[in-house]
Amino acid sequence: MTITQFAQDIYILDDQRVREFLILGRDHAVLIDTGFSDTPILDEVRKITALPVQVILTHGDGDHIGNLSQFKECCFHQADEAKINPTIPFHSLKEGDIIDIGDYHFKIIEIPGHTYGSIALLELQHHWLIVGDTVQKDGPIYMFGEHRNLDQYIESLKKLANMKEQIRTILPSHHDCPISPDYIDYCLEDAKRLKDGQLESSPHPKMPCREYRGVHVHFYY
């Protein structure tokens, strides 16, 4: 696990597969996502802070929710409850909720599609967008199987594209980080090509999906 400081009181935990974000407040810390189940995430967090930790999940995929039971409570969008099946108390997040942590203020943006309960967190003063898996450089972005919806995904990217004046930096969970807000448009263009059947594809060797190669990003669909 590599731990880097992104900004004052903000740390990125990255195991080269998926990353989590830790934000330190005055009396508690917020951990955004908990990684794979083979990651001792709480031990990693304790290398940085002894504060009580509130967990917020960008979405309910398995690489973002490992070891959730080590925490006292968590917050996520209710539409991913079936994927997460929380064994700890949870609070539901919705569009427009504000999460105050120290000097930072994050607004919840609903971006369903990659999963029905996917959310992004927009920091209102620094214009950072923690976006989960919805916007990435290169990908693959997983869009096959249950709990995914390509039409909703396209609408959510349009929504983010319309907010671009408020977004300066994108912090994705996978691959390069940070990336430019231009990747919202790139993912949107390729997602539309995917929907319109314009992308070349080949069967994935292991998973029940095909790999579609876009101009900027590829999808498992």
Residues that bind Zn ion (CB under 5 A): 61, 63, 133
- Rounded to a whole number of angstroms, the minimum distance from the CB of residue 34 to Zn ion is 12
Are the beta carbons of 124 and 112 closer than 8 angstroms?
no
Least distance to Zn ion, CB of residue 174, Å = 6
Nearer Cβ to Zn ion, position 18 or 24? 18
Q: What is the 3-state secondary structure (H, E, C) of the chain?
A: CEEEEEECCEEEEECCCCEEEEEECCCCEEEECCCCCCCCHHHHHHCCCCCCEEEECCCCCHHHCCCHHHCCCEEECHHHHHHHCCCCCEEECCCCCEEEECCEEEEEEECCCCCCCCEEEEECCCCEEEEECCCCCEEEEECCCCCCCHHHHHHHHHHHHHCHHHCCEEEECCCCCCECCHHHHHHHHHHHHHHCCCCEEEECCCCCCEEEECCCEEEEC
Nearer to Zn ion (CB atom), residue 24 or residue 84: 84
Q: Encode burial over 33-42: b for 16+ CB neighbours within 10 A, e otherwise.
A: bbbeeebebe
> How far apart are CB 64 and Zn ion at their closest, in Å?
6
Which of 24, 179 has the CB closer to Zn ion?
A: 179
Q: Which residue has the tokens 């992104």?
A: 6
Q: Measured from the CB atom, is 9 or 114 closer to Zn ion? A: 114
Which CB sits closer to Zn ion, 20 or 61?
Answer: 61
Tokens of 96: 């427009």
What is the smallest separation between the CB atom of 173 and Zn ion, expressed in angstroms? 5
Q: Which is nearer to Zn ion, 20 or 63 (CB)?
A: 63
